[in-house]
Structure 1
Amino acid sequence: MKQSAGILLYRNTGMETEFFLVHPGGPYFAKKDKGWWTIPKGELEPAEAPIDCAVREFKEETGYVPKEPFIALQTIIQKGGKKVLCWAAAGNLDPKTITSNTFEIEWPPRSGKMKEFPEIDEAGWFTFEEAILLINERQVSLLEELKMKITPYNPTCFCLLK
């Protein structure tokens, strides 16, 4: 089973918590929006520690290096069967300044022409309500878990005692 590791960056604006998500680049994702955004993540190199991979991938995809402390989140399995290990970190960066690594594919298909695309073509800060609409459905649980871990008082129910 393939494994990826990533970082879910978050910040508190004073009014609410926002989550940093990225949109995959390239022609296959050009017209896809809701449900296609993701945390910055990538596949582990042989013998690489997962947290080191998560930090490396975040830097490669955004140009920003997330800082400790890291909050471990539950591992998820994406639809294609890939296992995603994730940590959260507080941080702040301007989405307009991201610098992403690139990849090369034959485009258009069977044209014999190679074209280069950014791995990430867009990034942004989103409220919880916005983020759950945009993020890959299998990653929603990462947002939910982090929200519960960083919210000082978040009752799930109110019970009246008689």
Structure 2
Amino acid sequence: MAPHSAGLLLFRRRGVGFEVLLGHMGGPFWARRESAAWSVPKGEYGPGEEAQAAARREFEEEFGHPVPDGAWVALGESRQAGGKTVTVWAVETDLDPAAAQPGTFTMEWPRGSGVQREFPEVDRFAWCAPEVAAERLVKGQRVFVDRLRDRLTGGQDPAAHDDGA
């Protein structure tokens, strides 16, 4: 069975638009990359765990704080290029990315050296407008920002709104 991941896409409204909170993936592979190197806080779960519980757990591990209060808006699933199915919810909130205290992982680095080093799962978080998120997010997660935009605007592009003025 292909792996499953679940995550939370936090958002805040700004004027006629919105911003989403993304995390830059930690570790040496992602260190010098910006484009397609950011992610929704998410992680894998197995058959004994509910997707929503996994999304909550992964947010807390990656951001280092409990999930903010707010209604969870289902953004559905997306099958990633590697075969993983990702399920995401959106939660409206406004928190300070500098407050993050990310969890860590250990890996051999440099490869083949026999030296184990610890790296943050996410090395920084930032609020991004949808256009910026489209560039920063790994390709398979961009659909969730589009779905959130559709939910918030009823399918209308707020930038294209003409009130006749």
TM-score, normalised with respect to structure 1: 0.90
Aligned partners of 2:70 and 2:93 also within 8 Å: no
Aligned partners of 1:50 and 1:85 also within 8 Å: yes
| Displacement of 1:45 | 4.1
Runs ≥4 in structure 1, deviation > 6 angstroms? Answer: 155-158
Superposed CA deviations along residues 120-153 of structure 1, whole A, max 9, x for unmatched, are 0011001111111111111111101101101257
Please give the alpha-carbon distance, in whole angstroms, between the structure 2 residues aligned to 1:66 and 1:48.
21
Q: Which moved more, 1:45-54 or 1:118-127?
A: 45-54
Residues 86/34 of structure 1: CA separation in 2 closer, same or farther (3 Å cut): same
The aligned residue for residue 49 of structure 1 is 50
The aligned residue for residue 129 of structure 2 is 127
Percent of aligned positions that are identical: 38
The aligned residue for residue 28 of structure 1 is 29
> Structure 1 residue 79 and structure 2 residue 70: aligned?
no
Q: Which moved more, 1:123-132 or 1:62-71?
A: 62-71
Please give the alpha-carbon distance, in whole angstroms, between the structure 1 residues aligned to 2:47 and 2:70.
23
Please give the alpha-carbon distance, in whole angstroms, between the structure 2 residues aligned to 1:59 and 1:92.
16
Q: Figure out how many residues of one structure are paired with residues of the other and give that number.
A: 158
The aligned residue for residue 103 of structure 1 is 105
Please give the alpha-carbon distance, in whole angstroms, between the structure 2 residues aligned to 1:97 and 1:142.
24
- Matched residue SS, 1:23: strand
Please give the alpha-carbon distance, in whole angstroms, between the structure 2 residues aligned to 1:138 and 1:45.
20
| Displacement of 1:66 | 3.1
Q: Which moved more, 1:9-18 or 1:82-91?
A: 9-18
| Displacement of 1:63 | 1.9
Please give the alpha-carbon distance, in whole angstroms, between the structure 1 residues aligned to 2:49 and 2:93.
24
Please give the alpha-carbon distance, in whole angstroms, between the structure 1 residues aligned to 2:134 and 2:29.
22
Gaps of 5+ in 2: none
Please give the alpha-carbon distance, in whole angstroms, between the structure 1 residues aligned to 2:146 and 2:157.
14
Please give the alpha-carbon distance, in whole angstroms, between the structure 1 residues aligned to 2:101 and 2:55.
17
Aligned partners of 1:55 and 1:66 also within 8 Å: no
Gaps of 5+ in 1: none
Please give the alpha-carbon distance, in whole angstroms, between the structure 2 residues aligned to 1:2 and 1:21.
22
Please give the alpha-carbon distance, in whole angstroms, between the structure 1 residues aligned to 2:45 and 2:104.
18
- Aligned 1:58-97 pairs, distance under 5 A: 58-64=59-65, 65-97=67-99
The aligned residue for residue 14 of structure 1 is 15
TM-score, normalised with respect to structure 2: 0.89
